[in-house]
Structure 1
């Protein structure tokens, strides 16, 4: 059943506004817009008839051009690509404009709905107690999946506003601008460029939406704004400029530059607010204080820094003095304006967003090799390597200073050492919370954690060291299985245990979906993370430590994305839930957090999900032992199938030679290289998660989001456990969410476009293996949902995906046509490579969370 509101607010509007493109005063645009539906129809009917992309495009050439001139055809295809890109952005704007009408902003998962339930069940005191230390942190990453350049995003923002008000003249004007604005970045962005882009969201979205949620909470709970119990309830984290993992362009100078930009951005926000507040607070004794605040913020931002505020506490003191005067002498007139601003300063400080430092464990290994080689007390590296891990840790902890002069260290290692200097400097400039953790990716042992821990002890001042969280990141299936043993080992090390004690008995642990899914497939990765969290919670509780989980989830289901509210609401009491921390990347930032309405909606969904586990535990029963065995069995079956597939001798060659994987490095969307390894032969272990997931998404095959699910479900059905699995799907929110997110991956797949590969001499068998599991997964997922169809319980998302897939169908045909022609052998390879590259942008943008 279609959502009538969605039809009216989105589908119909898209049809109407899309027609405006045809009247734009640009050459070729009328012709392009007129022939595009023909290519769309030819693609749809062609795939239904079993035709391949070359046949479809050549038929399009005969019907539309009536010529064999390939140059003319290719010119038209490039024009079609540009046209479709703009259709996708128009659809984005229309959906964004309708957000408040197609989603119930006060329904399930909203703060308003939660407060209503709390009042109804007389749990207000429990809620207040939980809110004292609960927190949700959205961490904006530097991962490159946002294909729109900044100027195009600005048009999208203005277009959404015009559509919301029905301003036809402005819409038409913006479509003209859109028609002439390039969608491609000429140069790769630097890490600083990436940070500047994300600062736009901080300033224009998060600065408005986070305080708004807290204002409503405070009012509903009869709490004072300026004395709100927990200003850290909703915070934003920041990776651009601090994420060094695989990015040689992130230096300590860049880290400091980004931190300064964050400080500058929040001070600009404060300056605008203070000037607005001063227009109302014109009373004796109050106006002078507000003027003082304005002047000192101005100096901190633009003028003589010595005359400006050094930290937010100084600003808060002046604001509190003004508020006291206002209440004592002027009946508290307009005091709500000042109280709300005070809360903003408490939320964002002078840092705005909390920066993380991240580096790969293998890089720390290399740095310590050089440190040990310079140390007179270490005989040889070879002897050190033979030591048991506990003895290695003892040896590292015996260092009281770094040997030799830092300037004599290898340049890369010197940069790593200077990242600690940068971390300390950020704290001095922006406050302790501005940068307080170091994340170790590819963490495989207690030694990996202690390498960073000891570097921090040697490099940082006592205060900065005591304020630092050392965060291991566990991602692969093996590492997740060992995670609790590694943490127990760490908790037994006296120096580390003392540090955790001084950090209020808190330990943050990051678990990553990306490499887990790449390593073990969809079901095994998700179940391994669930089990690891339970084991980590258990071992931490035994040591009296509160573990905080930081999820590297990204956007698409293959990277742990999908329905986040249901995911967090389903975890149960065996997994610590003191905070929710999650990475958000590229397209998911712009689609879920790119506008105030959508940002507020999604933040509230996460907030209520985390609070529900504590307030209403009866709504989410734990998995029984028999149910756990069912999931474990399915995960094992899925893992074996995926492992066989991953180890197929055509797996890596297919990614390297058939998919657009190799072109991700040419899209100029991110500063990081697309692979960790050196140029040359592609190695599976060097593949980054984004190009890996993105390549499957471009092919409309979405392997990481479903592969093995069908076989697992079918195997249990065949062994007589169909009723148990069906009951599990019905009764367990965790399992239902797991399969629901896989359904989303299947809904975004389209195997007919690559059916021609089934006849390929080299990859035919490999393609059929994929297609067989896709068909089986689709059938089994449909069956378990009582044959209601994919995503039957998420109608808005289902309709959105369907329209987006229809819009980009011609792009898929063009891209596969180019891939097919290149594999068949052509003279003009450059043109076909450009067709592949150019079509990637629209396909990815339409999916919104494809990598």
Structure 2
């Protein structure tokens, strides 16, 4: 039985922020806006209270119809700002709850490092076994830009300031004048936010997306990363006590990126863009090192005569002075009596030269010949020398503070910051390889079958020096594809071998698709054989996306690993075999049940194959922010993976708005990273203890449910007359391009309105906006009803599965969240936008009927009276948004009708309803806390 939710403190916070918002609206927007906001809320609440009566609905619609464009625009902005303030209140409340739990001691919060390590110890994991687990541990979130991120960077900064001031007000020691001053500052910050436009005036370039992704590091992630390690070290000491001294804590946290490397379907990502991304990443981390060295210099004010640095330190200082020559006199003149400041000033100078070189390369696109004069190894050695010297005169405690953090950051970020993945669609490689083989050997590659392709590719990869041909005969597309590999080779030398992670091949359908990439790599010196020895400086990750792709994983991987040349290259690289799994496209393809189950089974097959071959494998999860794209809480998602499949390492995409919600505030970033890492630790205990196997009966049931669910989903999305018309007319998908929220087109092929062409991001975003989140649940209700028909005992089986099987429990928990965000009464309003009313009514009834089946069956399985009964915090969060979110949807429907009615006669750029419409898209995304 779930205890009643006690959130009085949170509700007080929301009331405070709401009252300030009303005050700001009255002074900055005028009383008409505040009054209209209140009226729309009141009328929507009355509509719901009366069971969506036709009379109340007409009253609400009439109110909206009479509003001028300017008032509507401001009303929508007010709703949007309310959601942002509620999000801040909830985030702040969660932080305070965790602080209180930590103050009380015990396990801290569930999922904390302390809680996780204590449970491990109690389960019999010794310090030696923990070391085995830690040595394999790697938590690797990968930032991606292609989902529709709707918040401007300026808005994110303003929200961060409001969060910090709000946190001050939660301090019970803040009273009198100081509290009043904080209240006035909070009001000013909300006022400023109101005066800042949340809609972008111009489209985002890839360079803008790169800068946006990088902004999270100085804003929160540098400090959060240092605190994550510090918290882990403290928890390890507390739990394992003296035995903790035996445990070495490796670097278990790293970051990846697709921003500037993901060119699949995005013509704006060029070879030059990839160079820019890698260099901007280097600039960001070098700036942080310069800043921290300066801070450290200010702190380590030890004087000669009061401390005695050891001999190694003094030798290092002398070597620096000799290396820098005459300029050293100017740098060191203020620090001659303070040895550590002296050393750090010289280190900062050398790091600043590195930064100046990367700035120059960015300014004039010049090569960074010879790399940096102050190498990463030298930098880390200097930090280690300082630490050892501090220890030598009894100041280990001082060495364990900011210096320790800087050492850990240097080990985590190097000079590359993030490992950039490059992604491209398989046909681009096939085309380039075909052209090269024709130019070099006169062969018709496209005419060959798979076995002949593999044989030819193996021989071509083995050719010393690569194939010889006239590059001028290649098409522009083929030349560009080759240039990407040239960039990878050049940047590895220029900056660091660590600046790239994997080359991801989307739409991998056969083993030859992987060897094609390796042939292109061989042509640019990234792979091959010299003197009888293989070398490989690139890792290739096949991406399996559709249901068919997931079902052929076994065939493709076994065929690939049977190729001797590939075996040699994999061994030479020293890398794990990485396999990427696509959540978004598989769900759009076959529905949530087929997607979730085929992904689960694919992981089992991949791990079985790697075990049979004796190779290590890492799974790369292409998750989105929404349930329909593999989203959901990270901790639970990791624990829901197949037993003994994680094995210490997990890599996953962090997409769209999830970057903002998880990483904009440093305090929340620490929590999110901690929960992800502890989920990884728990899921990896199979490295040192036997893992319980799945119950075969459960797997059989899931296979049957997935088959039925896929049939129902395809019947709706591929066989129902008018479904695609409904999609384009009963959602705002056609208007997304006006919002300037991403550099990637919403469709793979321009003017192609097919289900296969529309990108999963736009697909999910559109359904979410119109409150029809069916990609996350459609097919489940009918599947459960069909499977249980006439067999009441089967419901008990499903209830047992929910109780005992993490995969099934996580699936239904996420589905409950998605169902709670659906509102089929509101969706009916969007259905009314269809050109053919019969089509709108018919498709809406299909979706609505399945919604009711889903709710009924899931409540029976989880044995609850309402959705999210086991997660009252989330239920309350969604409920408190509805009085603002519902009116927004009615406003958006009205604006879509006005925009579309005007048609070509009123171009979007000059249509007075366009700006308010774009604001509704932003606001609804904020209210539902998801875009794509």
TM-score range, shorter chain: over 0.9
Q: Compute the displacement of 1:107 (Å).
A: 1.7
Q: Deviations over 1:176-208 (max 9, x none)?
A: 111111111111111111111111112222211
**In structure 2, C-alpha distance between the alignment counterparts of 1:746 and 1:471, rounded to whole Å:** 34
Change in Cα spacing, 1:614 to 1:436, as seen in structure 2 (3 Å) is closer
Higher alpha-carbon deviation: 660-669 or 475-484: 660-669
Secondary structure at the aligned position of 2:652 is classed as strand
Secondary structure at the aligned position of 2:346 is classed as helix
Q: Compute the displacement of 1:794 (Å).
A: 1.8
Q: Equivalent of 1:335, from 377, 384, 399?
A: 399
1:506-521 residue pairs with structure 2 within 5 A?
Answer: 506-521=576-591
User: Corresponding residue for 2:350?
Assistant: 296
Note the aligned Cα RMSD (angstroms).
2.8
1:53-452 residue pairs with structure 2 within 5 A?
Answer: 55-60=58-63, 72-102=67-97, 106-123=108-125, 124-166=127-169, 167-222=182-237, 229=248, 231-283=250-302, 284=304, 285=314, 286-287=339-340, 288-302=342-356, 309-329=373-393, 331-332=395-396, 334-337=398-401, 338-378=403-443, 380=444, 383-384=447-448, 388-391=452-455, 393-394=457-458, 397=461, 401-452=466-517
Q: Compute the displacement of 1:713 (Å).
A: 1.6
Higher alpha-carbon deviation: 540-549 or 758-767: 758-767
Q: Deviations over 1:724-754 (max 9, x none)?
A: 1111111111101011101111011111113
Q: Compute the displacement of 1:819 (Å).
A: 3.5
Change in Cα spacing, 1:618 to 1:51, as seen in structure 2 (3 Å) is farther
1:607-756 residue pairs with structure 2 within 5 A?
Answer: 607-615=677-685, 621-647=692-718, 648-678=720-750, 680-720=751-791, 721-756=794-829
1:757-796 residue pairs with structure 2 within 5 A?
Answer: 760-796=837-873
Secondary structure at the aligned position of 2:201 is classed as coil
**In structure 2, C-alpha distance between the alignment counterparts of 1:217 and 1:374, rounded to whole Å:** 57
**In structure 1, C-alpha distance between the alignment counterparts of 2:20 and 2:638, rounded to whole Å:** 42
**In structure 2, C-alpha distance between the alignment counterparts of 1:426 and 1:390, rounded to whole Å:** 29
Preserved contact between residue 748 and residue 757 of structure 2 (Cα < 8 Å)? yes
Q: Compute the displacement of 1:313 (Å).
A: 0.9
Q: Equivalent of 1:560, from 630, 638, 658?
A: 630
Preserved contact between residue 561 and residue 567 of structure 2 (Cα < 8 Å)? yes
Secondary structure at the aligned position of 1:549 is classed as strand
**In structure 1, C-alpha distance between the alignment counterparts of 2:855 and 2:383, rounded to whole Å:** 59
Q: Deviations over 1:317-376 (max 9, x none)?
A: 112222233233465462213233212211111111111111111221222232233233
Secondary structure at the aligned position of 1:701 is classed as coil
User: Corresponding residue for 2:921?
Assistant: 840
Q: Compute the displacement of 1:128 (Å).
A: 1.7
**In structure 1, C-alpha distance between the alignment counterparts of 2:844 and 2:371, rounded to whole Å:** 68
Change in Cα spacing, 1:791 to 1:611, as seen in structure 2 (3 Å) is same
- Mark the structure with the bigger radius of gyration: 2
User: Corresponding residue for 1:65?
Assistant: none
Change in Cα spacing, 1:326 to 1:510, as seen in structure 2 (3 Å) is same
Preserved contact between residue 580 and residue 622 of structure 2 (Cα < 8 Å)? yes
**In structure 1, C-alpha distance between the alignment counterparts of 2:819 and 2:159, rounded to whole Å:** 28
Q: Compute the displacement of 1:761 (Å).
A: 2.0
User: Corresponding residue for 1:817?
Assistant: 894
Higher alpha-carbon deviation: 829-838 or 92-101: 829-838
Higher alpha-carbon deviation: 764-773 or 609-618: 609-618
Preserved contact between residue 641 and residue 708 of structure 1 (Cα < 8 Å)? yes
Gaps of 5+ in 2: 103-107, 170-181, 305-313, 315-338, 361-367, 529-533
1:472-511 residue pairs with structure 2 within 5 A?
Answer: 472-504=542-574, 506-511=576-581
Preserved contact between residue 535 and residue 572 of structure 2 (Cα < 8 Å)? no
Q: What's the TM-score once normalised by structure 2's chain length? A: 0.85
Higher alpha-carbon deviation: 85-94 or 242-251: 85-94
Secondary structure at the aligned position of 1:244 is classed as coil
Preserved contact between residue 730 and residue 830 of structure 2 (Cα < 8 Å)? no
User: Corresponding residue for 2:321?
Assistant: none
Q: Compute the displacement of 1:640 (Å).
A: 0.5
**In structure 2, C-alpha distance between the alignment counterparts of 1:280 and 1:28, rounded to whole Å:** 48
**In structure 2, C-alpha distance between the alignment counterparts of 1:203 and 1:225, rounded to whole Å:** 31
Q: Compute the displacement of 1:656 (Å).
A: 1.9
Q: Compute the displacement of 1:788 (Å).
A: 3.5
Change in Cα spacing, 1:333 to 1:632, as seen in structure 2 (3 Å) is closer
Change in Cα spacing, 1:802 to 1:113, as seen in structure 2 (3 Å) is same
**In structure 2, C-alpha distance between the alignment counterparts of 1:227 and 1:416, rounded to whole Å:** 49
Q: Compute the displacement of 1:567 (Å).
A: 2.1
**In structure 1, C-alpha distance between the alignment counterparts of 2:591 and 2:645, rounded to whole Å:** 22
Q: What's the TM-score once normalised by structure 1's chain length? A: 0.93
Preserved contact between residue 156 and residue 664 of structure 2 (Cα < 8 Å)? no
Q: Compute the displacement of 1:310 (Å).
A: 3.9
Q: Compute the displacement of 1:518 (Å).
A: 0.3
Secondary structure at the aligned position of 2:653 is classed as strand
**In structure 1, C-alpha distance between the alignment counterparts of 2:841 and 2:480, rounded to whole Å:** 48
**In structure 1, C-alpha distance between the alignment counterparts of 2:599 and 2:457, rounded to whole Å:** 27
**In structure 2, C-alpha distance between the alignment counterparts of 1:324 and 1:640, rounded to whole Å:** 65
**In structure 2, C-alpha distance between the alignment counterparts of 1:568 and 1:307, rounded to whole Å:** 39
Preserved contact between residue 195 and residue 258 of structure 1 (Cα < 8 Å)? yes
Secondary structure at the aligned position of 1:686 is classed as coil
**In structure 2, C-alpha distance between the alignment counterparts of 1:423 and 1:730, rounded to whole Å:** 48
**In structure 2, C-alpha distance between the alignment counterparts of 1:241 and 1:823, rounded to whole Å:** 35
Change in Cα spacing, 1:776 to 1:180, as seen in structure 2 (3 Å) is same
Q: Compute the displacement of 1:149 (Å).
A: 0.7
Preserved contact between residue 572 and residue 621 of structure 1 (Cα < 8 Å)? no
Preserved contact between residue 746 and residue 762 of structure 2 (Cα < 8 Å)? yes
Higher alpha-carbon deviation: 445-454 or 302-311: 302-311
User: Corresponding residue for 1:64?
Assistant: none
Change in Cα spacing, 1:128 to 1:385, as seen in structure 2 (3 Å) is closer
Higher alpha-carbon deviation: 403-412 or 211-220: 403-412
**In structure 2, C-alpha distance between the alignment counterparts of 1:188 and 1:2, rounded to whole Å:** 48
Q: Compute the displacement of 1:609 (Å).
A: 1.5
Gaps of 5+ in 1: 62-67
**In structure 2, C-alpha distance between the alignment counterparts of 1:465 and 1:803, rounded to whole Å:** 58
Q: Compute the displacement of 1:102 (Å).
A: 4.2
**In structure 2, C-alpha distance between the alignment counterparts of 1:53 and 1:192, rounded to whole Å:** 48
Preserved contact between residue 136 and residue 233 of structure 1 (Cα < 8 Å)? yes
**In structure 1, C-alpha distance between the alignment counterparts of 2:898 and 2:839, rounded to whole Å:** 15
User: What is the count of residue pairs matched by the alignment?
Assistant: 840
Change in Cα spacing, 1:42 to 1:465, as seen in structure 2 (3 Å) is farther
1:452-471 residue pairs with structure 2 within 5 A?
Answer: 452-461=517-526, 466-471=536-541
Change in Cα spacing, 1:462 to 1:643, as seen in structure 2 (3 Å) is closer
Change in Cα spacing, 1:6 to 1:254, as seen in structure 2 (3 Å) is farther
Preserved contact between residue 458 and residue 565 of structure 2 (Cα < 8 Å)? no
**In structure 2, C-alpha distance between the alignment counterparts of 1:316 and 1:417, rounded to whole Å:** 35
